[in-house]
Amino acid sequence: MAGRVEGKVALVTGAASGLGKAAAAMLVREGARVALTDRNEAGVREVAASLGESARAWALDVTKEPDWARVVDEVVATFGRLDVVVNNAGIGVSKDIESLSLEEWRLVHAVNLDGVFLGCKHAIRGMRQSGAKGSIINISSVAGLVGVDTLPAYCSSKAGVRLLTKSVALHCARKGYGIRCNSVHPTFIETPMVDDLASLTGDMAAGKARLARMIPLGRIGEPDDIAYAVLYLASDESKLMTGSELVVDGGTTAM
């Protein structure tokens, strides 16, 4: 039985760990060939090697446009096409508005928002050059929908991803490119970023329990909870979805 993304070529950013690693593994498992990218070159190469012949690794700093131009060109040259781009790479700084420095604000936006802008721009170029009908999937956050007092830069950047996604979706639709663009909005998921957040009080277990209590379903999510959302948006099953928000938050935004 063919996989849900059989024959497609996907590029995933931030794929050395966390949500990017899970999404890449899921896409490979469902039949795609996947370009895993990350600033952590050694880490991403190790993950790609573990996924077999359908996975290849590239070093990519999402804030640098020359990196994007090079990697997209090389992915198309290697695999012959580009069907899916998952803009997942992201960082967070847990400081309130009075404590956050301008440099920290700019760094978070450079990775989380500038990186997604460049990813969308070069995804469109690569998809059009290879004649693909594509899907761009931008990983935003529940914090792009509701405010968090200790995450002003993260909230701002992820809210920016939400509306950038809609702008890109409308542009591609009105140009008739056949390229869709949607955002995914996770709650707290078992990733290194959430580990860091939970550890701020010095007790990770207590910190995770506190985060879980903030979610109506009462648990922190698993990386595959988001990988399945990515898989759906990458597949032709979602062919009528563009400019949409796929919220995977355990009921957080229902409150």
Q: Which residue has the tokens 């290879």?
A: 130
Kind plus residue range of the DSSP H or E element containing 120: helix 115-129
> Nearest-5° angle of CA 153, CA 159, CA 163?
145
228 is catalytic: no
Q: Check if the beta carbon of residue 183 is closer than 8 Å to that of residue 246.
A: yes
CA distance 168 to 177: 11
Q: With left for phi above 0 and alpha for psi between -120 and 50, is residue 187 left, alpha or beta?
A: beta
CA distance 208 to 211: 5
**Catalytic site residue from 154, 177, 228, 232:** 154
Return the active site residues. 154
